Structure 1
Amino acid sequence: MGLLRPAAARAAQETERRESGTPTTGVNGDQGYESAGPFEIVADFYGPGPSGVVVTESGRIFVGFPRHAVNHKGATLGELVQGRVVPWPSVALSMPSAAAPADRLMSIHGMTMDTQGRIWAIDDGKLAGQPLQPGAAKLVCFDPASNRMVQKIVLTAPTLLPDSHMNDLRVDLTHGQAGTAYITDSSFGHSPALVVVDIATGRQRRVLATHPSTQAEPGFMAMVEGVPLVYTPGKPQRFVTGGADGITLSPNSDRLYYAPLTSRRLYSLPTALLSDQTVSEEALAAAVKDEGEKGTADGLATDAQGRIYTTNFEQDCILRRNTDGSFDLMVHDPRILSPDGIFCTKTHVYCTLGQWNRLAGFNGGQDKRKPPYHLIRFPIGPVPAYDAEQKT
C-alpha cells in the first residue's frame, strides 16, 4: 500500500489526532502542507502516461493512454493484468497500425461505464504533431464480458472541428431509445463546447459553444507546483488549459455536471433538456445552473450518494463536494500531480496522475515528467481504526 507517509509516522499522527480531536488539515491542524488521507498506489506506469480509467465490479482495471501529447508506440487502451498493460480489446485495435483511423483506436482519453456495465470511451483521434484525420475522433463502446467493441459512432463536422479535443464523456441510459452520450470538447484551440450524441441514431449536436459555462476564462491564474501561471488567449501556454473538460452525471442521470479546465466554477444542466435535440440553444443556456466554485478540476466523478469528487491540479489533491455544497479534502500529497481520469466504484475512488503540466510543450521544450506515473485509489468511507491494546 502506497501510503502518504511512512506507516509508523502516519499511525502516530492519526492516534494523536483522534485523542486530541485536532484535524489533520485546516484550522489549528497542519495548515495544508502535510500529506492527508490514505491512498494506495494501485499501479505505476513507465512509458506512456495514463488518463482515463474504469474499474468493473469484478475488479478488472482498464486505462487509456492518449497519443495527442506524445505519439507513443504502446497500447492506447489497456487492461492491467498481472503487472502488464495488455492491449484491449485487442492488439489490432489498441496498438498503432496501418488501419484507417475509423477502424482502430487512435488516442483514448476519457472513459466511463454505463449502468449496464459496458465501457465507453472517447477516442479524441489526435496523434501528436499530426492534423486530425477523418474518422479518427469517435465514441466507442466495449463489452468487458466478451472483450469486444460493440458500438462505434464517428464524430463528424459540424459537431467536430479541426481543433476539437474530445476530452471526456458520460453515458445516460435514461434518455433516448439506446441512451445519450455527453462529451466535453475542451478544444486544442479556443472553440470548446458540449457534444450530445443520440446512441441509437448516431445523431450528434454541438451545444453551448459560446456560453461562459464551457469556456476557458481569459486572465485565469493558477498556482501549479508553486508557480503562478496565467492563461492568455493567443499566447503560448505554460500549463494545461482548455474549456469544458470535467463531466459527471447525478446517480439517477437526471442532471449533468461539467466544468471548464481553465476555471474554478462548476455548472449543471437537466439531462431531460440536454438530451432533447429539439431544444434551442437559448433554452439550454437559460437552464444552465452555476453550482459555485469547486477549485481547479480536470476530472469529475459521482458516487452513489450523489457526492462529486473533483481533482485539483493546484493543490495536488482530490476534493469531495457534498450534496449540501460543502467540501471535504479526501487526499493531498505532492505526488498527486495533474490528477486526471477519475472513477468511482462502490467502495473506492480511482484516479490517474499523468504529470501533464510537466510536458515539454509547457516547459520550453523540456519534458520534466518523472516516471513512474501513478494510478491511485482511496476509500469512499473512512478507514476503520483499531486499537490493538484495547482491553476486553
Structure 2
Amino acid sequence: MKLINSITSILILFLLVVSCSTQEQKGKQNDKKITLVASSSNQWTGIAVSKKNRVFVNFPKWSDSVPTSVAEIIDGEVVPYPSEMWNKEGGVTSFTAVQSVVCDGRSRLYVLDTNNPQFSGVLNGGPVLYEFDLSTDQLIRSYSFTQEVYHNNSYFNDVRIDINREKAFITDSGVGGIIVLDLVTGDAKRFLDGDKSVQPENDHLICDGVRWENKVASDGIALSPNNDYLYYTALSSHTLYRIKTSVLLENDVQSKGVSEEIEKVATIPATDGMLFDRKGNLWMGGLEGNMINVWTVDNEMVHLIKDERVKWADSFAKNIDREIYFTTSQIYLPESKRGKYEIYKLSMDILSNN
C-alpha cells in the first residue's frame, strides 16, 4: 500500500510539473505574440495608426475625471493632441466626449465626438466628426449632423473612411443605426433605424466569468478592402452582418428599403471593434474570453489568442508594417478591479502560422 501511495504521489507531482511547464510555455508563446506598446491609468477606447507609424488614442468622457480626450503616444507617453487647448474642457474649440479615432490612407486623422458625455444625452449641436491634417496637425474641417440624423440618446461610436469615394460610415450604439456622411458636401443620411441587425440580441455578456449587464446596439464596423461591403455588429450580440456600400450610396436610396439588402455573415464571439487586413481577414476581439479572433477570407473563425492581458480588446488599427494594434479598456470589470489600461500590437503573420 505504501508503494502504491508513493507511486501515486510521484505521478501527481509529475503531472503538476508538466501542467506548470505547459502553462509557462503557453505564457512564453503569448509573450511572443503580443507586445506592450503603452499603458495608462486613464481608460481609453479608440486607437489609430498613421502611415508614418504615429499612434493616436482617445479617452471617452465616461466620468468626471478625463484629463485628455485625444492624445498621441510618443515614446510610451500620452501627449494631448493636437494641443492642450483642444483637450481643455469648455474651450472655444475643444473636444467634448470623444469615442473613436481613425487614420485614413491620405494622412488624415478623424476624431468622432459623440457630444454625449457620460451618456447623459446629446448636447446642443449634436455629434461632430473632426478631420485633421497629420502633416500640419491642423484642423481641416469639422462635420456636424442635422437633427434628422441623430436622436437625443444617440451615441456615435465607430467610424470607417472610404477615401476613394470620400465617404464616412458611422455606427450609433445608443439607438442602433448606420450613418453615411459625404465628406465633400457634408450631407449625411441615417439608415436601419429599428432594424434588428443594429439592435442588441442580449441584455448581458459573461466576460471571463464576470456578468456585464448592458444592451449596446450597433458598435463594431469595418469596410472590406475594396470598400464594396460594410460589415457591422451590435456589441451585445453574436451576429455579424454586412451590406453592399453601393446600396447605401445610391442617390435616391430610402432608409426603409435598405433592410432587404442586409446579409447575415456568421455567428461570432461578442466583439467591440473590428478591422480588415489587406488580405480580407476580419480581426476582432472576443470579449467573453479575453481573446483576439479572426474571421478569415475562407469564412472560418480562428481563435488566434487567448490571454488574460487581453481584457476587453476595444478598438483595432493597423500600420504599414503588417502589425495590428488594439486597446484594452476593461469595460466589464468594476473600477476597483481594473489595472492599467494597455495598448498591444501583434504581427499579422501569426495568422498564417497558426
TM class, shorter-length: 0.7 to 0.9
**CA 1:274–1:154: 2 relative to 1, 3 Å:** same
Higher helix share: 2
**Alignment partner of 1:223 out of 206, 211, 225:** 206
Please tell me the residue identity of whatever aligns with 2:332: N
CA distance in 2, matches of 1:276, 1:39: 42
Q: Secondary structure at the match of 1:357?
A: coil
1:109-152 C-alpha deviation (Å, 9 max, x unpaired): 12222221211121111222754211252111111111112111
Larger radius of gyration: 2
Native 8 Å contact 2:314 2:328 kept in 1: yes
Matches within 5 A, 1:1-392: 13=25, 38-46=33-41, 48-67=42-61, 69-99=62-92, 103-128=93-118, 130-175=120-165, 179-187=166-174, 191-217=175-201, 219-227=202-210, 229=211, 238-346=212-320, 347-359=322-334, 367-382=335-350
**CA offsets per residue over residues 17-57 of structure 1, 9 Å max, x none?**
xxxxxxx9xxxxxxxxxx687101110101x2011101122
1:369–1:204 Cα change, 3 Å = farther
In the TM superposition, residue 304 of structure 1 has moved relative to its aligned partner by 0.6
The answer on whether the counterparts of 1:355 and 1:369 sit within 8 Å (CA) in structure 2 is: no
Structure 2 letter corresponding to 1:97 = G
Q: Which SS does the other structure have where 1:115 is aligned? A: coil
> SS of the residue aligned with 1:128?
helix
Could you list the per-position Cα deviations for residues 187-226 of structure 1 after superposition, in whole angstroms to 9, with x for gaps in the alignment? 0xxx211111111111111110111110111x45522221
Unmatched 5+ stretches in structure 1: 1-7, 17-23, 25-34, 230-237, 360-366, 386-392
- Contact kept, 8 Å, 1:37 with 1:330, in 2: the verdict is no
Q: Aligned residue for 1:390?
A: none
Q: In structure 2, the residue corresponding to 1:93 is in which secondary structure? A: helix
2:162 maps to amino acid: D
Are 1:36 and 1:332, in contact at CA under 8 Å, matched by a contact in 2?
no
Whichever structure has more strand as a proportion of its residues is 2
SS of the equivalent of 1:356 reads coil
Residue type of the alignment partner of 1:209: D
The 8 Å contact of residues 351 and 375 in structure 1, kept in 2 or not, is answered as yes
Q: From the superposition, tell whether residues 86 and 252 of structure 1 become closer, same or farther in structure 2 (CA, over 3 Å).
A: same
Inter-partner Cα distance in structure 2 for 1:152 and 1:299 = 24
C-alpha RMSD of matched pairs (Å): 2.5
Whole-Å separation in 2 of the counterparts to 1:37 and 1:213: 37
Name the residue aligned to 2:12. Answer: none
TM-score in terms of structure 2 length? 0.87
CA contact (8 A) 1:240 1:357 kept: no
Q: For residue 368 of structure 1, report the CA deviation from its aligned partner.
A: 2.8
CA distance in 1, matches of 2:215, 2:119: 18
Q: How many residues align?
A: 332
**3-state SS in 2 of match to 1:125:** coil
Aligned CA distance change for structure 1 residues 145 and 239 (closer, same or farther; 3 Å): farther
